[in-house]
């Protein structure tokens, strides 16, 4: 039970990292997170004793890391689709929407998510727990 947050972060970041290469990694990661939730719920309610108190250090670490993970994931997806798929579809003569229209909006959304006060929100939630 003590490693649950690190396991969830591992599943999430790995599915984001491998998304450009394996698009099914996001549904697989989602299924993995759902299974992790239900397994931990069963263990918590039926098998485990009261867990030790953990500091908010691990939670704040992942809260600080997630915006950067989203930013780098957006860059990797953009580069992957630009380099690989434009070459494939240009050979076949298929016209795609240019990535120059999609990329600034996508990266702008991710930068907006990075600017939002996630640290302030997390510290507020940890104070109230």
Task: Judge whether 28 and 46 are in contact, CB under 8 Å.
Answer: no
pLDDT of 35: 96
- Extents of the domains making up the chain: 1-54, 55-129
Q: Which residue has the higher pLDDT, 105 or 95?
A: 105
Residue 68 pLDDT exceeds 60? yes
pTM of the model: 0.49
- pLDDT band at residue 38, thresholds of 50, 70 and 90? very high
pLDDT tens-digit series, residues 86-97: 666 666 666 655
Residue 28 pLDDT exceeds 90? yes
């Amino acid at each position: 039970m003590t490693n649950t947050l690190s396991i969830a972060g591992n599943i999430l970041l790995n599915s984001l990292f491998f998304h450009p290469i394996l698009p099914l990694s996001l549904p697989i990661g989602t299924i993995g997170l759902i299974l992790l939730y239900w397994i931990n719920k069963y263990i918590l309610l039926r098998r485990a004793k009261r867990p030790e108190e953990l500091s908010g250090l691990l939670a704040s670490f992942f809260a600080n890391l997630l915006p950067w993970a989203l930013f780098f994931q957006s860059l990797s997806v953009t580069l992957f689709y630009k380099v690989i798929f434009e070459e494939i579809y240009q050979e076949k003569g298929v016209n795609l929407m240019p990535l120059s229209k999609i990329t600034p909006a996508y990266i702008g959304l991710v930068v907006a998510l990075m600017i939002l006060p996630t640290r302030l929100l997390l510290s507020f939630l940890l104070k109230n727990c």
